[in-house]
Chains A and B, each alone.
Chain A
Amino acid sequence: MNPFSAISAVVSSGLKAQSYRLQLVSENLANADTHGYRRKLVSFDKARDAASGADVVKVSRVMLDPAKGEEIFDPSHPLANENGYVVMSNVNMLTEIADAREATRSYEAGLQIFRQAREMYAGLIDILRR
């Protein structure tokens, strides 16, 4: 198979996986103040692309972080338990931002690989033009 179409398949799988990860990060951040919210975690897995035989990446599964959210004493809150505590979300802003940075970096690296592959392909077509 043409290596350049294999590259497109591999890179697009990577971009999809990373943008899904970014989506989960933004969901977590949006729900940072939702009571009882548990942050979503994503894990990647490699998969064999049948057409090109290359190792593409896929989202293996989305899990909920089992860590307990912080309990805050607020007896007047409608969601407070019998002892007057409210469970907050277990989202840590710093972790989410770090995760988003890593996803963005991997996304940009994938884009760069695609640009370079296109450049190589253009070089081949230039020979045909002569």
Chain B
Amino acid sequence: MLTDLNIFAIAGAKARHAAARQGVIAQNVANADTPGYRARDLEPFEKTLQRIGSANTTVSPRIVEVHSLGAGSPNGNTVSIEDEMMRAGAAVRDHEIATTIYAKALTMMRTALGGRR
């Protein structure tokens, strides 16, 4: 493990992805009543990883349009607040997982180096 610090890169990339996703969701929620606004989301982190390979984790993920069932309104807006809240919850969870993994890996390294936990 100590010879391969990839875990930090991947955990960091996952945290960045979750934060960027929360940013996209914030734009959707702010524009929840804007006529003609189409709801967007980031592609899942797994997909970004597959596309670019784990070696390069600084590439930004693609933005995709989401189609929530029955969310279209007559003014062309496709944001569903309920859906956005679900997605925001998922983003927070993903971020927490990523930061926890990062912190745990840090603790493991400290243990291996003989420091205090």
Q: Which residues of A contact B (CB under 8 A)?
A: 3-4, 6-7, 10-11, 13-14, 17-18, 21, 43-46, 54-57, 102-103, 105-106, 109-110, 112-114, 116-117, 119-120, 123-124, 126-127, 130
Interface hit among B33-41, B50-58, B64-72: B33-41
Contacting pair A44 B34 (CB below 8 A):
yes
B7 to chain A, nearest CB (A): 14
Contacting pair B26 A11 (CB below 8 A):
yes
Contacting pair A112 B33 (CB below 8 A):
no
Q: Complex Cα distance A124/B99, Å?
A: 7
Q: Complex Cα distance A41/B96, Å?
A: 42
Contacting pair A113 B32 (CB below 8 A):
no
Q: Complex Cα distance A98/B89, Å?
A: 27
B48 to chain A, nearest CB (A): 15
Q: Complex Cα distance A64/B20, Å?
A: 39
Which residues of B in the span 47-95 have a Cβ within 8 Å of any Cβ on A? Answer: 81, 84-85, 88-89, 91-92, 95
Contacting pair A130 B85 (CB below 8 A):
no
B116 to chain A, nearest CB (A): 11
Pick the residue among B16, B26, B95 that contacts A113 (CB under 8 A): B26
List 10 A-B residue pairs with CB atoms under 8 Å apart, sorted by A's residue number.
Answer: A3-B19, A10-B27, A14-B29, A43-B35, A56-B27, A109-B29, A113-B29, A127-B102, A127-B103, A130-B107
Contacting pair B22 A117 (CB below 8 A):
yes
A7 to chain B, nearest CB (A): 5
Contacting pair B19 A14 (CB below 8 A):
no
Contacting pair A120 B32 (CB below 8 A):
no
| Contact A44 to B103, CB < 8 A, known contacts A3-B20, A6-B23, A112-B85 | no
Give the chain A neighbours of B89 by CB distance below 8 A: 116
Contacting pair B31 A3 (CB below 8 A):
no
Contacting pair B23 A54 (CB below 8 A):
yes
B18 to chain A, nearest CB (A): 7
Nearest residue, chain B, Cβ from A14: B30
A104 to chain B, nearest CB (A): 12
Pick the residue among A44, A46, A109, A127 that contacts B81 (CB under 8 A): A109
Q: Complex Cα distance A112/B91, Å?
A: 13
